[in-house]
Amino acid sequence: MCTTCGCGIGQTRINGKSIQSHNHSDKPLNYRLLRQSPSHEHHPMPVNADHAPDTLHFGTGIAGTHAPGMSQARMVKIERDILAKNNSYAGENRRYLSEHGILALNLVSSPGSGKTTLLVKTIQALQNKLPIAVIEGDQQTDHDAARIRATGVPAIQINTGKGCHLDAHMVGHAMQQLSLQDNSLLFIENVGNLVCPSGFDLGEAHKVVILSVTEGEDKPLKYPDMFHAADLMLLNKCDLLPHLTFDVGLALEYAHRINPALPVIQISATQGSGMSAWIDWIKAECRHTPASK
Partner 1 sequence: MHEMSLAENMLQLIEDAALEQQFAQVKTVWLEVGQLACVEKDSLRFYFDVVTRDSIAQQARLEIIEIPGQGMCKQCNQTVLIAAHYEACPHCGSYALQITQGDGMQIRELEVE
Q: At CA 106, angle to CA 5 and CA 270, rounded to 5?
A: 120
Total site size for partner 1, rule CB under 8 A:
59
Per-residue b/e over 158-178, b at no fewer than 16 CB within 10 Å? bbbbebbbbbbbbbbbbbeeb
Residues for the chain: how many in total? 293
Site residues for partner 1, window 197-216 (CB under 8 A)?
Answer: 198-200
Q: Kindly state whether residue 84 participates in binding partner 1, applying the rule CB under 8 A.
A: yes
Distance CA(145)–CA(143), nearest Å, equals: 6
Site string for partner 1, 41-70 (x = CB under 8 A): ----x---------x--x--xx--------
Q: Kindly state whether residue 128 participates in binding partner 1, applying the rule CB under 8 A.
A: no
Q: Which of 17, 42, 67, 80 binds partner 1 (CB under 8 A)?
A: 80
Question: Cβ 226 to partner 1, closest distance in Å?
Answer: 9
Distance CA(289)–CA(293), nearest Å, equals: 12
Q: Kindly state whether residue 260 participates in binding partner 1, applying the rule CB under 8 A.
A: yes
Dihedral over Cα of 222, 107, 243, 248: its sign: positive
Distance CA(31)–CA(55), nearest Å, equals: 5
Q: Kindly state whether residue 77 participates in binding partner 1, applying the rule CB under 8 A.
A: yes
Using CB under 8 A, list all residues that contact partner 1: 1-6, 23-24, 29-32, 34-35, 37, 39-40, 45, 55, 58, 61-62, 71-86, 162-165, 167, 195-196, 198-200, 220-221, 224-225, 227-228, 254, 256-258, 260
